[in-house]
Homo-oligomer: A and B are copies of this chain.
Amino acid sequence: MALDEAADAGGRRRRRRSEKPDAAPKRVAHYNRVRNTLPFAEPFSSDQVEAIHNASLRVLEELGVKVLLEEGRDILRGAGCKVDEDTLMVHFDRGLVEEAIKQAPSDFIMTAGAPERDLHVGGREVIFGPGAGCPNVTDFDRGRRPGSYEAFVETTKLQQSFDVIQKLGPSSEPQDVPVNLRHYATMRAQLTLTDKIPWLYSRGPQQVAEGFEIMRLMRGLSEEEFLNTPCVSTVVNTNSPRQIDRPMSQGIIDFARAGQMNVITPFCLSGAMAPITIPGALTLSHAEALAGITLAQIVRPGAPVVYGAFSSNVDMKSGAPAFGTPEHLKTNFGAGQLARHVDLPWRSGGGTAASSPDVQADYETQLSVWGALLGGANLIYHSAGWLEGGLTFSYEKFITDIETLQTLAETMAPIPCAEDDIGFEAIAEVQPGGHFFAASQTMRRYSTQFYEPFVSDWSNFGQWTEAGEKSATDRANALWKKTLEEYEPPKVDEDRLAAVDEYIEKCKAEGGAPIMD
C-alpha cells in the first residue's frame, strides 16, 4: 500500500495541507504495490517440510507423471527422464528436478502498459487477481447468465477501476465469441481497456503465438526484446493426479520459450483428485508443480515461473468442492512453506462454494484470502467476485470483496511511530472525560488519517432504516454501475493499436486459430 506522491518523505500517511484553510486535504491511496508485512503461518517443522519435499521427489522419480504431449515427453527424455511411450509415463530424476528449481528465478519483474502497473513477482509482494475462469456471470439486475463479450468488457473495466486488483484475469468467459477468434477479442479488450498485465489462455500453439504477437506489437517491442520482457501470463493446471494434458504441456513449453510468466498450478482437491490428508495433498501438488517447472526450465533455463498451489478439500458426502475451510487454510500455510523451501514465487487462490453473494460467500472468501496471505502467497487469484466454486462471477460480490482487499492492503501498511505520532501533547491537551475531535493533532490529520470505505455504511440504525435498509450487497449493486459509468480508459498508443488491429484482421481472414485437443 502506498499513498500518492503527496505523502511526505517520512512516509507519513497524510498530504500537505491546502493553502485554503477550509479545503481539507483528501486522502488518496493507491494499491498498485502491496507488501505483505504479516507474519507467515508455518505449521510444519523444517523436517516435515523436507519430508514432504522428499516424498514429492519420490513420486516424480518412482511413480512418474503422465505427459500426453509428444513434444513434452521428447524434451523431458532429452534431459534425462525415463519415458515409457506405451504408458506415456515420465519418471523424473531427482537431480534434474533439483537443478530446475535452482534455475528458476526467485523473483522477476512483469512489465505493464504503464510503469506504475509493473509488478514485482516474488519476495513479500502480494498481487491480487480477480475471480477468473468463470463460464457464467451474475448481477442483481440481469440475473445469472452465460458469460458474454459484453460481460467480459464490463468485468475488465471493473478490474481496471480498482488498484487493489493489480493483475488482470478472465472473470467472464465470452461464450458468444467463436473459440477460434476469442483470443483476439480478449487480448484486444485487455490491452485497450486497461494498462494492467494481461493473461492469455494456453489453448494451443497458434493461439498462444498470435497472443504473443499482439502483446509484442502493443508494447512496441522487437522480437528479441519480447523474449526478454515478461508482460503476459498464463495459468497451467495439471490434471491431478499426476497428469499433464496436451494444451497444458504445450502452454508450459510455449510460455517458457517466450520468457513469459507461467503459473503452474495443480488444482488438488483433497479427497477427490488428491489424498485426503493435508500432507498427502501437499505432496502430490508439490510433485506436479515441480514437474511442470522442470519442463519449463529445461525448455529455457531461467524462464519466469510461478509455483502454483490451489488446494482445498471436497465434501466427502457429495464430492462437491469447498473453499475457505480449515483444510483450505492449512494447505495454504503448508504450500507457502514448500514454495519458500524451493525459493520460488507462489500463487494461491481465494474461493467460495456459495451460490449467491451472501454471508457464506463472504466468510469463505475472506477466510481463504487470509490463508493465502498468512501462507505468504505472492499471487492471490479469485480474490474478488468468484462464486459457486468458480462457475459464476458476481458483480456485487466483486465490489464487497474489493472493500475487504483494500482493508487488508491498508492493514499491511507500516504504522508511523515517531514522537508526533505517539503525541504525548495531544493526550495532555484533552481533559479527563473530554474528547479528541477538536484536538490540534486531530485537526491536522482528520481528513487523511483513516481509510475511508466505499461499501461499508457506518450510519446508525435509524439513519440506515430511513435510507431504505440497504444491505452491503444492495449498495454494491449501485457501486458497480457507478464504477462502470465513471470508468475511463487508459491512454493507448494509436499507432501500435493500428498495428494490432491490422494483425488481428489478417489472422481472422486466415480463419483464426484452432484450440488444441
One digit per residue, 1 when the CB lies within 8 angstroms of any chain B CB and 0 when it does not, for chain A 308-352 equals 000001011011111011110110001000000000000000000
Residues facing B in A396-438 (CB within 8 A) are: 400, 403-404, 407-408, 410-411, 413-417, 421-424, 426-428, 430-437
Question: With A272-B437, A422-B283, A441-B276 as given contacts, are A320 and B458 in contact (CB-CB < 8 Å)?
Answer: yes
Question: A403 — which chain B residues lie within 8 A by C-beta?
Answer: 363
Q: How many copies does the complex hold?
A: 2
- Complex: chain B residue closest to A242, CB-CB: B432
Cross-chain contact of A277 among B374, B428, B445 (Cβ < 8 A): B445
A235 beta carbon closer than 8 Å to chain B = no
Q: Mark A89-108, 1 if CB is under 8 A from B, else 0.
A: 10000000000000000000
Are B39 and A272 in contact, CB atoms less than 8 angstroms apart? Answer: no
A200 at the interface (CB under 8 A from B): no
Judged by a CB distance under 8 angstroms, whether A58 is at the interface is yes
Measured between beta carbons, the chain B residues less than 8 angstroms from A358 are 359, 471-473
A144 within 8 A of B: yes
C-alpha spacing A423/B408, complex, angstroms: 36
Question: Contact: B374 with A51, CB < 8 Å?
Answer: no
Q: Measured between alpha carbons, how far is A62 from B427 in the docked complex, in Å? A: 11
Residue A118, interface by CB 8 Å = no
* CB-nearest residue of chain B to A274: B436
**Once the chains bind, are B277 and A441 in contact (CB under 8 Å)?**
yes
**CB nearest to A464 among chain B residues:** B355
Q: Are B322 and A449 in contact (CB under 8 A)?
A: no
Question: Which residues of chain B come closer than 8 Å to A408, judged between CB atoms?
Answer: 367
A193 interface hit (Cβ, 8 Å): no
Contact mask for chain A residues 370-396; partner B; CB cutoff 8 A; 1 contact, 0 none: 110010000000000000100110000
Contact across chains for A436 and B473 when beta carbons are under 8 A apart: no
Contact of A435 among B52, B272, B353, B431 (CB under 8 A): B272
